[in-house]
Structure 1
Amino acid sequence: MCNPQIFLQTKIPKMPPCKYFAIPSILFFLLSFLIFPTKAAPIYSSHACTDSSKYQPNSTFQTNLDLLLSYLSSNATQGVHFYKTTVGSETPNAVKGLFLCRRDTLTAVCHDCVNAAAKDLTRRCPVEKEAIIWYDVCMVRYSNQNYLNNIVPAVDMSDSKSVAGADLDRFNEVLAGLLNALATKAANSEDEKFETGEVNLTSSVTLYGLVQCTPELSLFDCNMCFRSAIASVPNCCDGKQGARVLLPGCNIRYQVYPFYNSTKILATPVVKSRPSGRSRVEVILTFVIPIVAAMVLFTFGICHVMRKQAKSLKQLWRKTNYSEGVDEIDSINLRG
């Protein structure tokens, strides 16, 4: 007897039209940017291949340089904003280098910037033994020299928008006061050597400033670097709403919009009204006079310290009965 075969027929549902999937897909795509935001790529500013001497590809110097840049990149993950090191001990092949990240940046941002800058530097300066590169929030440099110049090369960058002529006098005086105040405070800092601040230009316009020096620099060297950068503003960026000056040892920047993470506010400098149409010499003096005053005070401070040291030395010699040496010390003339 034949077993009857039973056939089960399953009804396959119809797929909805594609238009019903379009809206959820778009929403998921948009939400992915909110939940998993993409990191902004580091922004290149400028660079300089500063040494005329070259190294040979695949040489010991290149090996040391590659290792140095690797060290810089890896140490940028350690939560520090400044790091320097040297690879190699023998003169022709030794290379020293450092990175400096803006003090208000997060560790991840600092690392991304240093990593990109290190790679970019070897591309832009493929065989130079000394080079430097600036990005928006970091700087990387290396050299085969024992002494690193902190003032040259210098790069300036300014916005295309200018301050209205009627407001230019006040803008220049407030800007000079802001930058000089920040530079003085940063240079006297024992560790960070980084300051930000803001002042009100008008009831609706605020001027923001930032200065930073490499932490390894002394008070004198940091001051000299800042003053050099500030003094160049009238020549490069007079009347511009925003600008930055980049030096190997320091950098300064100002804008009429917030560009850093800080809540520090400086009091608005007192600005005396002056007749309009000031000459270029007057504008330059607005920046230079505070610089000269600061350097004069610094010089007097050094002379005072030298006098105290000479006096202490003389007293020490008297206590130890070296009477013959006292007459010689009295004859020392310290100029100041």
Structure 2
Amino acid sequence: MPPSNYLAILPLFFFLFSSLFFPTKSTPIYSSHVCTDSNKYQPNTTFQTNLSLLLYSLSSNATQGTQFYKTTIGRDTPNAVRGLFLCRGDTLATACHHCVTTAAADLKHRCPAEKEAIIWYDVCMVRYSNQNLNSIVPGVDMSDSKNVTSINLDRFNELLAGLLNSLATKATNSADVKFATGEVNLTSSVTLYGLVQCTPELSLFNCNMCFRSAIAYIPNCCDGKRGARVLLPGCNIRYEVYPFYNSTNTLAPPLVKSRPSGRSRVEVILTFFIPVVAAMVLFTFGIFTVMRKQAKSVIQLWKETNYSEV
């Protein structure tokens, strides 16, 4: 058997080994996946070998008690593979390892020849690509089949938007994990639980933009649903009317002023979308400021050059 074939089956042996020595109480739950069908690799190639080594590296590093790991296998651009895993911030090390190992093996099965793919489980995400890793696309949304009935829909949307935006701000400004959970009372008997997380390597700006993009999904995919999640490569958000995470960190309920019922759909969308617009305005202003400073520097340099030639 060629050496490349030995390397290609390493993840399988690692998975069997880890199943024996790292038992878990629960099986990770599959959520969704995306394969980039337009970009495929041929079998028994250097890229396939590098991909197998990458998935093996991700699975093995999930045993180190870390919830995030990113690496690249291969130096030459055509065959280099970039990849990472992210476990949910409230996940124990054993559960994280089991989820990453399961997801890596499952990803090879679901996307057997793609050069770019991503898979989400309930407590982890695994992805790889032959290109630079994008944080916004592709995106997947999932929602509960049932609608909210215990509270006015307008108030529900305001409380939900307030909770998710507060959690996004908290997670973005956190130093390391970029993870936050919180809850707010919908009624005296119903509580809304929220969770947000982005990959730790993202800058404050990119993490914030990823969260705002995810939150902007909600009105179109999941308006009025009892629970939903938006899964992006760089971040994810989720809310439910039941506790689904282990963290005890919560936020105080956001203050919401009473408004007349019967708000239009445009108003509901704006509740979620305004933070995205604000972030984009700040981004544009920042670019304009940088360009203006660069223009002044060029003019000054041109003047100095001309003066020196006189």
**TM-score bracket relative to the smaller structure:** 0.7 to 0.9
Distance 1:185 1:299 in 2: 23
Q: CA deviation at 1:272?
A: 1.8
Distance 2:245 2:287 in 1: 35
Match of 1:148 in 2: 133
Match of 1:281 in 2: 266
Match of 1:187 in 2: 172
Match of 1:97 in 2: 83
User: What is the correspondence of 1:168-317 to structure 2 with a 5 Å cutoff?
Assistant: 168-297=153-282, 300=285
Q: CA deviation at 1:69?
A: 0.3
Specify whether residues 38 and 225 from structure 1 end up closer, same or farther in structure 2 by C-alpha distance, changes over 3 A only: closer
Distance 2:305 2:145 in 1: 65
Runs in 1 of length 4+ with deviation above 4 angstroms? 297-311, 322-328
* Contact 2:212–2:275 (CA under 8 A) maintained in structure 1: no
State the secondary structure of the residue aligned to 2:78.
Answer: coil
Among 83, 105, 126, the alignment partner of 2:69 is 83
Pair 1:44-2:26 in alignment: no
Distance 1:140 1:285 in 2: 32
* Contact 1:50–1:153 (CA under 8 A) maintained in structure 2: no
Match of 1:111 in 2: 97
Higher relative contact order (CA 8 A, sep 6+): 2
Rg larger in structure? 1
TM-score by length of 2: 0.84
Task: Give the CA RMSD over aligned residues.
Answer: 2.6
State the identity as a percent.
78
Match of 2:48 in 1: 62
Distance 1:325 1:270 in 2: 57
Question: Which amino acid in structure 1 is aligned with residue 137 of structure 2?
Answer: V
Q: CA deviation at 1:240?
A: 0.5
Q: CA deviation at 1:268?
A: 1.4
Cα displacement string for residues 163-197 of structure 1 (whole angstroms, at most 9, x for unaligned residues): 12851111100100111111122122232111111
* Contact 2:41–2:115 (CA under 8 A) maintained in structure 1: yes
Q: CA deviation at 1:291?
A: 2.7
Gaps of 5+ in 2: 1-22
State the secondary structure of the residue aligned to 1:253.
Answer: strand
* Contact 1:199–1:267 (CA under 8 A) maintained in structure 2: yes
Distance 2:305 2:238 in 1: 52
State the secondary structure of the residue aligned to 1:191.
Answer: coil
Specify whether residues 284 and 96 from structure 1 end up closer, same or farther in structure 2 by C-alpha distance, changes over 3 A only: same
Specify whether residues 242 and 325 from structure 1 end up closer, same or farther in structure 2 by C-alpha distance, changes over 3 A only: farther
Report the structure, 1 or 2, having the larger helix content. 2
Specify whether residues 310 and 187 from structure 1 end up closer, same or farther in structure 2 by C-alpha distance, changes over 3 A only: farther
Specify whether residues 60 and 305 from structure 1 end up closer, same or farther in structure 2 by C-alpha distance, changes over 3 A only: closer
Q: CA deviation at 1:295?
A: 3.8
Specify whether residues 326 and 169 from structure 1 end up closer, same or farther in structure 2 by C-alpha distance, changes over 3 A only: farther
Distance 1:291 1:327 in 2: 45
Count of aligned residue pairs for this structure pair: 284
Match of 2:145 in 1: 160
State the secondary structure of the residue aligned to 1:202.
Answer: coil
Match of 2:12 in 1: none
Q: More displaced, 177-186 or 73-82?
A: 177-186
Gaps of 5+ in 1: 1-36, 329-336
Distance 1:222 1:308 in 2: 26
Cα displacement string for residues 127-157 of structure 1 (whole angstroms, at most 9, x for unaligned residues): 0011000000000000111x22211111000
